[in-house]
Amino acid sequence: MRLTCARTATNVIVLTLLLAASSAAQTMEKVDYFPDSIAEKDDHVVRLSGGSSWLLANRTTAVAAADVLIVMRDVVVDGKRVPTAFLYVGGEEIPAKHVEGVYPKNVAYLTRVVAAEDGSALRLADGTVLNVQRMDRFAISRWTPPYKALLTENRIYLYNLKENRRVWVQPAKSK
């Protein structure tokens, strides 16, 4: 009973944060992230191969060994900055709370791909155009914008958060 009440309270808090987070415009928001994979899962808790554990607001249908991305950002709730985390796996976006263990933090930019151009370029919500490397063009040909994406700080990789797939990119040259 106690665990169920705690889960319900966590779900309500996470739902509130999710609503606040989803209302924010996603043009190019600086966030922290790390890729990992599921080592074990038990009800609403996943343990990742890197050693951290996360309490999920919803159960995931993903299997052990599935690749995941954890994206951490601050959202404003009632005028206060509140750290939030989301687990992306198999097309799912699940609010998550860190339970235990350590994890790396990498800087990236949460954005949205709004258009695909000529099968070789992607246009982001802020107007940035990224050329996709030849070996990844088949993959992007099957992705239908708009979708959330994560652009690494060095702007070499773009993760499609719906497909949970990474492609190599480079800024398009100005004409």
Q: What is the pLDDT along the chain (175 residues), one digit of tens a residue?
A: 444 544 544 554 554 444 444 434 468 999 999 999 999 999 899 999 999 999 999 999 999 999 999 999 998 999 999 999 999 999 999 999 999 999 999 999 999 999 999 889 999 999 999 999 999 999 999 999 999 999 999 999 999 999 999 999 999 886 5
The strand pairing partners of 54, in sequence order, are 46, 98
Task: For residues 79 and 140, give the distance between their C-alpha atoms in angstroms, rounded to a whole number.
Answer: 39
The strand pairing partners of 46, in sequence order, are 41, 54
pTM summary value: 0.82
Task: For residues 80 and 74, give the distance between their C-alpha atoms in angstroms, rounded to a whole number.
Answer: 9
| Residue 168: CB atoms within 10 Å | 14
The domain locations on the chain are: 2-104, 107-171
102 burial type by CB count under 10 A (0-12 exposed, 13-18 middle, 19+ buried): exposed
